[in-house]
Structure 1
Amino acid sequence: MRGSPPCGTAVGCMLLLLLLDALLLFAGQAAGEGIITNHVVVRLHESAHDDAHQLAVEHGFQSVRKLPFGEGPLPLLPPMSPRREANAVPRKRQRLQKDSRVMSVLEQPGFSRQKRGYRDLNEMEVNISDPLFNKQWYLVNTGQADGTPGLDLNVAEAWGLGYTGRGVTIAIMDDGIDYLHPDLASNYNADASYDFSSNDPYPFPRYTDDWFNSHGTRCAGEVSAAANNNICGVGVAYNSKVAGIRMLDQPFMTDIIEASSISHMPQVIDIYSASWGPTDDGRTVDGPRELTLQAMADGVNKGRGGKGSIYVWASGDGGSYDDCNCDGYASSMWTISINSAINDGRTALYDESCSSTLASTFSNGRKRNPEAGVATTDLYGNCTLRHSGTSAAAPEAAGVFALALEANPDLTWRDMQHLSVLTSKRNQLHDEVHQWRRNGVGLEFNHLFGYGVLDAGGMVKMSHEWKTVPERFHCVAGSIQDNHKIQSGGRLVLTIDTDACQGKDNFVRYLEHVQAVVTVNASRRGDLNINMTSPMGTKSILLSRRPRDDDAKVGFDKWPFMTTHTWGEDPRGTWVMEVGFQGPEAQRGVLKEWTLMLHGTQSAPYIDQVVRDYQSKLAMSKKEELEEELDEAVERSLKSLLSKNN
């Protein structure tokens, strides 16, 4: 009905005003105390618009600035001079409100806004006094060593929330740890350590003139170097415990040594960090043997009281000549494969790319800056600025995961993978070869960097309220086992239509990992290229050209190429595999098998649960508080109003 007030009745309007007052009051409390300024916004009666400048001068303001939006002029009257008295604004406001030309007056309180992308280390609330901390750009990047400011692991936010890795044990599976190092000794977990190279409980590195066995000690410092002891730098999780598992320093590796190392004390060790794998020569196709596979499976199913051991793996240092999907450790579903970026966001020259990489951390800078390496502990009580490679990247990730485990000790091994997908950031990472793309559910990924650089602050915040993901299921989506010829100059295209086991107990509706188990032989294995496209249109590069791989006999025998790029997608529909050759010479081959394996959940792991809860929690908590305040305010006001009317 025309002419009726929007709130219906006079009492309704009064209640609405009371509600608005309560809202404004609450908003002010939530934002903190405002800064008093002399900035005032005034709305004039239409007949007084031409008098705006005169009105400003009369009331002691310098000028009028009309806003470029809104209905009718809304003059902004800046102060004539800087504020001198706290009560100057109220007096001016009172005089303005009494002016017959003025409809309303609104003061402009000041509040804080900060520039993003640049951070001054001296202005951050990071109380670290260790001498190399200012050089640990991967922790807090302010542009040191020609780096890109803000491109780091965002550990400062996690530390600021009180998470430092306390109560978490990380095992460094390597060539030993200098556990007498003064920056490691206080955090060393002797009970969880062992030397499988010498079969004793003392995994101290074997001495060599070239310090070849410094690798494990450097990795350990990245994770658990103590804080504020005036020695070297600080670990990502500087209150975590570090265990040494010496297993690399012998003339050869055996399945039993690997299996024993990976399964050592799984109820005490939370995270296993491995910066090793098959030879990164661009020719090798290798992975864990039978006992190690059994140990890994046992770890993810029974470790940490059934929550699962967390295996962190460096993706490899073979550069563009290699493909980390040919490394069966890095491409395992049971590991979290970590690649590296340099301090300006570009790819390192040694980075391998593949579709199984989940996320990235940092290694050294590409420029010859002596401080562009990873600063950490070194043998015999020394420090170094020259640690590098994906060897450096994996321990950094282990440290971030330790922070997340402190925030929520109930996280499972799969929870940690989901958190990595959801909280990793593109930030300022730049891949000159592979573009950033979005998969079928909108998750952004890159063929080299995975889902981006780990964000410690984001991960601990999401971890704190995380709900364990639903049960995991496995579905053999389909298999093609006929021989199909592959010729240079063309591409073999095969399809599998699947319902993802719908209607069965092992139905997979939301994807986690996808495996393409492939048997293929070629006249030159290194020239093979394999791509796979999901029903939702996401293309994964399962195998890139490896120019140094001259194999013409072995090929790939039931090799499980893995992709994480279809995470969260609906797998039902048509999957397409394309196989061809890339290279200067003509090649031929035969694909004998393609079996599609789907792994994931039947119910939404977080689309309907965690993500929505996480994104809205703060807003919802404020809303609930606001609703309580409003209820109380309305009740008080209504009682007061009724008592006066009576």
Structure 2
Amino acid sequence: MKKVILSCALALTFGTAAASQDFNGYIVKFKKGSNLLEQKSFKSIGNFEKLSLSFGDFAKLTNVNLSNKAISELANNPEIEYVEPNWIIKVDPVDNSEVAADPKYSQQWGLINTGKNSGGWFSPGKAGEDVNAEKAWEITKGSKDIIVAVIDTGIDYRHPDLKENLWTNDAELNGIEGVDDDGNGYVDDIYGYDFANNDADPVDGHSHGTHCAGVIGASHNSIGVKGVMANVKLMGIKFLSDSGSGETIGAIKSIEYATKMGAHITSNSWGGGAKSEALKEAIQAAYDAGTMFVAAAGNSRADNDAKPSYPASYAVDGIVTVGAMDGKGNRSSFSNYGKTSVHVFAPGSNILSTVKNGSYKKMSGTSMATPFVSGVLGLLLANEPGITIKEAKERLMESTVLNSSLSNYAASGRVDAYRMLMNERN
């Protein structure tokens, strides 16, 4: 697909890329000290939303359709660093049709694969092709000190399997309604923030984000399903609407918010459109501040080494890119791959997890594999406080199981939480 989609693709030139992909206005980055945005002649170009981020001053330019020549002239202004399209982002789970009326832990093959719970009637899976969760839980089940931000369609924070593991902004929770009690620029952001609708209610009306949240941290509470982490704080950040659509600028704001509010890991089951320098800078700024970025490789069956998929393919050390595998330990047919650009593989086919309105559903995609890795890394951070992003990424990759069927598709192999925690290396 050529639109920006959850766990799919990108590429950048103003001519061909902008013409072939959906975008809404432009992202403008100003050089340090510029006051260009205050000038009337500049404001007449279109509607500007000024954004002062930790890594520079930006503006979102809308209600304008600039020609390539006009864009070039704008970009060549001595007070502007660059101009790029504000790409449209959409949800793209591979399969969300199977609803589980009576979900059970025994159906969660990604955590414990018996072979019988991971295949079809005539094609069983392969026992042991999972993230080795049960042995890992003998060491740690996580910690409420670890914050994992799910940047997606939001989280249904009313879900009985998630509400015990939700992050809350205590200053706002215990503060005065209608007041920015913690001074972070957002009012009443108790459970996170909704950058799709610009309000403080990141509740999920779609289900994709809630599904990802459940893979990471559904409570071990004898109902529903279990997350990779029994103990965690899940921060809900919404930039994709209930119809599954969002913008690059919303993703940037989400990453900035997660970093500012102390997230250790951001789980990012989205991607697509063309390369964005502003988005790359946001991920780099998060890494510099100590926040890891886990990204979906994409669902277009493509080689990311040959055709980069963003944000997964940005050259930022803090990114961990995840491909999807099935219950036999093979690359899922839809999953992107890359011998150098995809770091690890994790379960991503027919994954049972939480969805909106207290329900459960199976979905497939690198979108589902990504939160498995976010949760596994969360276990490591809980068990070894103070470990650096570089060290954690190295441990994750060097402890993978070198499954021969995945050897040509990634820089390492299948994630194994127990081996990683025990520091068993290949």
The AA in structure 2 aligned to 1:453 is: R
> Per the alignment, do residues 221 and 175 of structure 1 end up closer, same or farther by CA in structure 2, a change over 3 Å counting?
same
Structure 1 residues 225 and 215, CA gap change in structure 2 (3 angstroms): same
1:365-402, Cα deviation, whole Å (9 max, x unpaired): xxxxxxxx111111100112x21111100000000000
Structure 2 residue 255 is the aligned partner of structure 1 residue 262: yes
2: CA distance between counterparts of 1:322 and 1:301?
25
In 2, Cα distance between equivalents of 1:449 and 1:381: 36
- Is residue 380 from structure 1 mapped to residue 357 from structure 2 by the alignment? yes
Distance 1:454 1:290, change over 3 A: same
Give the Å deviation of 1:253: 4.0
Q: Could you tell me whether the CA contact under 8 Å between 2:111 and 2:228 is conserved in 1? A: yes
Larger radius of gyration: 1
317, 337, 347: which one pairs with 2:299?
317
SS of residue paired to 1:256:
helix
What amino acid sits opposite 1:217 in the alignment? T
CA contact (8 A) 1:271 1:310 kept: yes
Query: How far apart, in 2, do the equivalents of 1:187 and 1:260 lie?
Result: 24
1:268–1:362: structure 2 CA closer, same or farther, 3 Å change rule?
same
The 2-side partners of 1:132 and 1:194 are apart by 31
Change (3 A) 1:392 1:147: same
User: Taking structure 1 as reference, are residues 175 and 291 closer, same or farther at Cα in structure 2, changes over 3 Å only?
Assistant: same
Deviation (angstroms), 1:256: 2.7
Q: 1:243 aligns with which of 228, 235, 253?
A: 235
The alpha-carbon distance between structure 1 residues 252 and 185, as it changes in their structure 2 partners (threshold 3 A), is closer
Which deviates further from its counterpart, 398-407 or 333-342? 333-342
Residue 274 of structure 1 corresponds to 268
Q: Which amino acid aligns with 2:219?
A: A
Residue of structure 2 in register with 1:36 after alignment: none
The match for 2:367 among 375, 391, 406 is 391
**How far does residue 324 in structure 1 lie from its aligned partner after superposition?**
7.4
Q: Is the 8 A contact 2:115 2:127 kept in 1?
A: yes
C-alpha contact 1:165 1:399 (8 A) present in aligned 2: no
Q: 2-side partners of 1:238 and 1:327: how far apart?
A: 32
Output the amino acid matched with 1:336.
V
**In the alignment, which residue of structure 2 is the partner of 1:157?**
135
CA distance in 2, matches of 1:219, 1:421: 21
The 1-side partners of 2:303 and 2:397 are apart by 27
| 1:417 equivalent in alignment to 2:390 | no
Residues 147, 324 of structure 1: CA spacing in aligned structure 2 closer, same or farther, 3 A cutoff? farther
Change (3 A) 1:387 1:177: same
For residues 321 and 333 of structure 1, the distance between their equivalents in structure 2, rounded to whole angstroms, comes to 16
- Partners of 1:175 and 1:247 within 8 A in 2: yes
Secondary structure class of the residue paired with 1:263: helix
- Tell me the distance in 2 between the aligned counterparts of 1:421 and 1:251: 31
Partner residue in 2 for 1:226: 219
Q: Is the 8 A contact 2:193 2:237 kept in 1?
A: yes
Deviation at 1:290, TM superposition (A): 3.1
1:133 to 99, 105, 111: 105
* Offset of residue 320 of structure 1: 4.4
Question: Secondary structure in 1 aligned to 2:106?
Answer: helix
Aligned partner of 1:176 in structure 2 is 154
- Correspondences of 1:423-434 after superposition (within 5 Å): 423-427=399-403, 430-431=405-406
CA contact (8 A) 1:314 1:330 kept: yes
Query: Which runs of structure 2 are paired with 1:162-561 in the superposition (5 Å)?
Result: 162-191=140-169, 193-206=192-205, 213-227=206-220, 229-249=221-241, 253-266=246-259, 267-278=261-272, 286-287=274-275, 289-302=276-289, 308-320=290-302, 325-334=307-316, 335-354=319-338, 355-364=340-349, 373-384=350-361, 386-427=362-403, 430-431=405-406, 446-462=407-423
Q: How far apart, CA to CA, are the structure 1 residues paired with 2:313 and 2:306?
A: 7
Q: 1:274 deviation in Å? A: 0.7
> Partners of 1:324 and 1:389 in 2: how far apart?
21
What CA RMSD, in Å, does the superposition of the two structures yield over aligned residues? 2.2
Structure 2 residues without counterparts, runs of 5 or longer: 1-101, 118-123, 170-190
CA distance in 2: counterparts of 1:344 and 1:154, whole angstroms:
14
> Is the 2:258–2:266 contact (alpha carbons within 8 Å) kept by the matching residues of 1?
no
SS at match of 1:258: helix
Q: Is the 8 A contact 2:140 2:382 kept in 1?
A: no
User: Is residue 141–residue 230 contact of structure 2 (8 Å, CA) maintained in 1?
Assistant: no
Alignment CA distance shift 1:321-1:430 (3 Å)? closer
**Alignment partner, residue 125 of structure 1:** none
TM-score, scaled to structure 1: 0.43
Pick closer, same or farther for the CA change 1:322–1:418 going to 2, 3 Å. closer
Over the matched positions of the two proteins, sequence identity in percent amounts to: 29
Task: Confirm or deny: 8 A CA contact 1:164 1:237 kept in the other structure.
Answer: yes
Measure the CA separation in 2 of the matches of 1:255 and 1:351.
23
Q: Does the Cα contact within 8 Å between 1:184 and 1:225 map onto a contact in 2?
A: yes
1:109-138 CA-to-partner distances (Å, cap 9, x unmatched) read xxxxxxxxxxxxxxxxxxxxx951111111
CA pair 324-244 structure 1, distance change in 2 beyond 3 A:
farther
SS in 2 for 1:167: strand
SS in 1 for 2:394: helix
| Amino acid in structure 1 at the alignment position of 2:239 | M
- Asked if 1 retains the 8 angstrom alpha-carbon contact of 2:142 and 2:383, the reply is no
- Are 1:324 and 1:330, in contact at CA under 8 Å, matched by a contact in 2? no
Which gives a bigger RCO, structure 1 or 2 (Cα 8 Å, sep 6+)? Answer: 2
Q: Against the structure 1 CA distance between its residues 313 and 265, is the aligned structure 2 distance closer, same or farther, given a 3 Å change threshold? A: closer
Q: 1:255 touches 1:290 (CA, 8 Å); kept in 2? A: no
AA paired with 2:358? G
**Greater per-residue helix proportion:** 1
Question: Which letter does structure 2 place at the counterpart of 1:382?
Answer: S
Residue 421 of structure 1 and its aligned partner are, at CA, apart by: 2.1
Q: Is the 8 A contact 2:103 2:360 kept in 1?
A: no
**Deviation, structure 1 residue 296:** 1.4
Q: Secondary structure at the match of 1:421?
A: helix
Structure 1, gaps ≥5 residues long: 1-129, 207-212, 280-285, 303-307, 365-372, 432-445, 464-610, 616-646
Closer/same/farther in 2, CA of residues 300 and 137 from structure 1, 3 Å limit: same
The alpha carbon displacement at 1:461 in A equals 2.1
Correspondence list, 1:140-151, <5 A: 140-145=112-117, 146-151=124-129
2: CA distance, partners of 1:408 / 1:171: 19
Letter in 2 for 1:272: T
